[in-house]
Amino acid sequence: MGMYVNRGNESFDRARRSRIYVDKTGLLEYTNEVVGTEQCYICNSRPRRFGKSMAAGMLAAYYGRGCDSRELFEGLEIAGRPSFEEHLNKYDVIHLDMAYLLVQNKSAADTVAFMQKCVIDELKDIYPGILTDGDSELPFALSKVNHAAAARFVIIIDEWDAIFRETAGDKDGQQAYIRLLRGLFKGEQSKDFTMLAYMTGILPIKRYNSESALNNFREFTMISPKRLSKYIGFTQQEVRGLCETYHMDFEEMARWYDGYSFRQEQHVYNPNSVVNAILDGEYDSYWSNTVSYESLREYISMNFEGLRDLVVQMFSGARCSVDIGGFQNDMTSFKSRDDVLTALIHLGYLAYDVDTREAYVPNEEVRIAFARAVRDTDWEPVIQAIRDSDRLLKATWDKDEELVAEYIDKVHRENTSILQYNNENALSCVVTLAYYNAVNEYMLIREMPSGKGYADMVFLPRKYSAKPAMVVELKYGKPARSAIAQIKERQYPEALKDFRGKILLVGISYDKDKRYSCLIEEWVKE
């Protein structure tokens, strides 16, 4: 076995031996359908920590002839399919991790040259006497091996887009990389040696104007994963089963990590976060210390065409229209806020509704990451808003009703371009914005079923927090006392009957004269 050719099945064996393993071998049923056909070129893009490398390792273990993987796949979905035996360990597999290779070299061009040399050197050992020291171009080398030894290859490229993400200024090196990929996957010669080409990364294939650099690839993305929807992350059925096995609250798991939705799979969860929540025994945001999180901060800071206002809206639960057509599938060619928003969709920080063509914040985990990213930008108005949010929280805890109304009014006035004075939905948006720094102490639950109705907002303290819970009711055109009365009459605090700490009832209203009022009471349990 080599480092790049026929690496074996250790990567997939490691995944199988993990405490939590979810069977995604159904993906192999699809790839088996297209092996050796015109449709054998696949690019499956998805965010970080959505199982890209695990899937690549699974494909390498299944197709690679340098190992016997039959036992590893016993009992899994693919083992019961008719195509299982036909392709099991039948091909030479070239398995490349471009992010790893890029670390070993100084530039994109060096990476391309180094990768080709490494693979060709291993091919010389596997097929002696065919290749010479003068063979330095991988497509030509594969063609020679194919014609001389009838060798057929499965080529797997993990983190295929790392060169475009990590070497943004190296245009010559990027062009060299694209030329290599074209040589491997375009043209009649490549059809002779390529049984399957599977590329995975964060981004879809690089585009130049409206044309894909590799237009013979079928692309499955966070915008349109099509038949591969169930292999993007964990499905609702899979998460429900994990919650039952490990005694986790399914509703909480959904609130934290669900929210990605596709035509063929309505509920898709962040798999890494679900696994971490189970292993840790608690729910948290696991994205804030990732490389993609740094990208989130950078892109928000660009503030293209009022991007800040859109972030404000989405942070408050709204959706916004996105034109995805102009995105060039890299991290530098941004020409509009739509390009930035499209990049955030591919990064997993926004979900996308293909029917309405709208982006939105999918879940609590991502909302927390957005809040932290905004806090870390140099937007002075935002920084001031965060300070005001901290003061608002303290005023609420102190039951300083006038100061609460004053701060909420300030938020509304500073965002009049996107927030209107016309209904309770607008008020909800304002209150969410005003309290957005509460993420450090609370989980915000909207429309929480309780008693005889639904509480507008419930701020539930996190496990480590000693702060009071807050039940918030909103009213437009009615006094704040009517909000408090509704909380009591409909018994909203009943939803928190197991909460042992203090509970505050908060009524917030504004009238048609654009005046805010607030009333705060402490709930006295019977």
Give mean pLDDT in consecutive 10-residue pieces for the chain, a chain of 526 residues: 91 96 97 97 93 95 95 96 96 96 89 96 96 94 96 97 87 91 91 96 80 86 95 96 96 92 94 96 79 68 72 74 88 84 92 94 86 66 72 94 91 64 64 77 81 83 85 89 92 84 92 85 81
Question: Do 265 and 401 fall within a single domain?
Answer: no
The torsion angles phi and psi of 133, rounded to 5 degrees, stand at -65, -20
Residue type, 119: V
Question: Do 73 and 116 fall within a single domain?
Answer: yes
Question: Do 188 and 313 fall within a single domain?
Answer: no
Number of domains in the chain: 4
The torsion angles phi and psi of 418, rounded to 5 degrees, stand at -120, -10
Question: Do 40 and 137 fall within a single domain?
Answer: yes
Q: Which pLDDT score is estimated for 383?
A: 62
CB 519 within 8 A of CB 401: yes
CA nearest 93: which of 56, 124, 136, 46?
56
Residue type, 69: S
Residues paired with residue 197 on neighbouring β-strands, in sequence order: 41, 155
Question: Do 68 and 159 fall within a single domain?
Answer: yes
Q: Which pLDDT score is estimated for 421?
A: 47
Question: Do 62 and 196 fall within a single domain?
Answer: yes
Question: Do 192 and 235 fall within a single domain?
Answer: no
DSSP state of 462: P
Cα–Cα distances (Å) from 226 to 180, 222, 251, 261, in that order, read 28, 9, 26, 11
CA nearest 404: which of 492, 472, 454?
472
The CATH number assigned to the domain holding 25 equals 3.40.50
- Answering whether pTM is above 0.85, one says no
Q: Which pLDDT score is estimated for 209?
A: 59
Residues paired with residue 358 on neighbouring β-strands, in sequence order: 321, 353
Structural domain of 260: 231-280
The residue assigned the tokens 């798991």 is 253
Q: Which pLDDT score is estimated for 372?
A: 73
DSSP state of 70: H
CB 301 within 8 A of CB 377: yes
Q: Which pLDDT score is estimated for 377?
A: 64
Question: Do 394 and 371 fall within a single domain?
Answer: no
